[in-house]
Amino acid sequence: MKRFGIAGIPLTSKGRTLLDSIADVHFLGLTSLEVQLLRVNVEQVPSMEHSGMFPRDVEDSIVVNVLRPDENGNYVSIGTDSIIEEEDIVEKLFWNMARNYDEILDAGELSRELDVELSLHAPYYMDLLGDDDISTRSYEHLKWSMVIAKGMGAKRIITHTGFYHKGKKESLRRAKDIYSTLGNEFPVEKGFPYIGVETSGKSEIFGTVEELISIARRVKEVEPIMNLPHIHSLSNGGLIELKNFEEMVNTFKKFAKNELYVEYAGVSYRSGNEVKIMPIKYGDLKFETFSELLVEDEDDYNIISFSPLLEHDAQYMELIFLRSLSRKLQRLETLRKRAKKVETVTREYNIKKGRKVDNDTIKEACNDIFGNAKVASSGHIISKTPGLNKIEAFTDGKKLYVTTESSPNRSDYANAVKLYNEFIERITGTTSKERRKRLQKKR
């Protein structure tokens, strides 16, 4: 299946909640939504009023973590699956799209009912590779994303990694450690989503194709996210021809979790860096070319529009895909009709003066060239060859008369024509080139 969807709330949506967004995506005829974890605030508060409750039962916020004192009095995370106790500290997330877990669970149920596949994009500003408070907060954002995505039944979270800080080699090592730790803390086996790490569109930000593939080889929970505008920018316009897209798809498919997840938009770039995300119709990253690949590939795709025109461009991409698919089906139908069509044609050929030809001569030639020959009750010689179901020939001594019946299997037709011309030349003494010249003179 080829899914088309958007990143964020539809521009035409009147409601701003998670439930509204899912319903509106469905009514737009789309089948995928990348929810954006934006405008969130997290507070640590004492747990007295929630003591005895499960985190999911709290109504005024989304409890993303519970901290409990250990034997030394140090507060450590115990996750969100245990009953809250009086001495605990809860981390509450306030999000404009959902007030509590009930709304998140309802959103997941609605998405399954409407067949809208959900993913969750972590906050866009991420800087995981540094040594300061920003990197710590960035990691916390990833943890919250994992918890919320699990609640709504999303297959994956999507995240950027951040800036290089200590060189590319050290940044890659650190990124592997961070994502490995996250994967161990929130394992897929317990219902948490895969970690979708997005390619970068700027040279100072971590996330080349090679870096993401390197992480995915080591961390099984990581899924490299193929953001084609970013890849196009970083390669300074490397996705132009169909073979460029094919190479990229083959690279990412090896590590895709179920369908291949693709981010798409128009883009302008300069010197290997993204300058601006644009509507899909603009720039030289052509979805028409990518759609040629999609119609030939039977694997599943999830294609997300993050262009300024959001749902308009998601629908536009689906329309281009359907047009490409229609053209393919028309070509296949034409070939099918041609394959089924059997043509019967009768031709006559002049025999060179001085050549003695009779039906025995024709029979001998058929045996030599086509490998078979028999004499019909009419005295005509009957033969056949792959590509021609029937070759019926006879002569009056001056002309050769041949009726041919084509085969539905056109794959052998070229060789059949070659053998047929050899047969005519042997009987009549004239080559196909000489026969063409004679026809031209008559015209």
- Domain range list for the chain: 2-39+97-333, 41-95, 342-442
Take residue 290 and report the two structure tokens written for it: 């990518």
DSSP assignment string, 293-339: HHHH--S-EEEEE-STTTHHHHHHHHHHHHHHHHHHHHHHHHHHHHH
Instruction: Identify the helix (H) or strand (E) that includes residue 272.
Output: none
Closest CA to 160 of 187, 128, 182: 128
CB 262 within 8 A of CB 302: yes
The 10 Å CB-count burial string (b at 16+, else e) for 81-110 is eeebeeebebbbbebebbbbbebbebbbeb
- Taking the C-alpha atoms of residue 6 and residue 309, their distance in angstroms, rounded to an integer, is 10
CATH topology for 342-442 is TATA-Binding Protein (3.30.310)
pLDDT tens for the chain, residues 1 to 443:
999 999 999 999 988 899 999 999 999 999 999 999 988 888 989 988 899 999 999 999 999 999 999 988 899 989 888 999 999 999 999 998 999 999 999 999 999 999 999 999 998 888 999 888 899 999 999 999 999 999 999 999 999 999 999 889 999 999 999 999 999 999 999 999 999 999 999 999 999 999 999 999 999 999 999 999 999 999 999 999 999 999 999 999 999 998 999 999 999 999 999 999 999 999 999 999 999 999 999 999 999 999 999 999 999 999 999 999 998 888 877 767 666 666 788 999 999 888 899 999 999 999 999 999 999 999 999 999 998 999 999 999 889 999 998 887 667 888 999 999 999 999 999 888 887 777 666 55
- Taking the C-alpha atoms of residue 409 and residue 318, their distance in angstroms, rounded to an integer, is 35
**Tokens 């028409």 belong to which residue?**
288
Whether 342-442 and 2-39+97-333 are alike in CATH topology: the answer is no
The 10 Å CB-count burial string (b at 16+, else e) for 198-208 is bbbbbeebbbb
Residue type, 64: V
CB 149 within 8 A of CB 157: yes
- Taking the C-alpha atoms of residue 83 and residue 147, their distance in angstroms, rounded to an integer, is 16
Q: Which CATH number applies to 2-39+97-333: 3.40.50.2300, 3.40.50.10490, 3.20.20.150, 2.10.77.10?
A: 3.20.20.150
Helix (H, G, I), strand (E, B) or coil at 290: helix
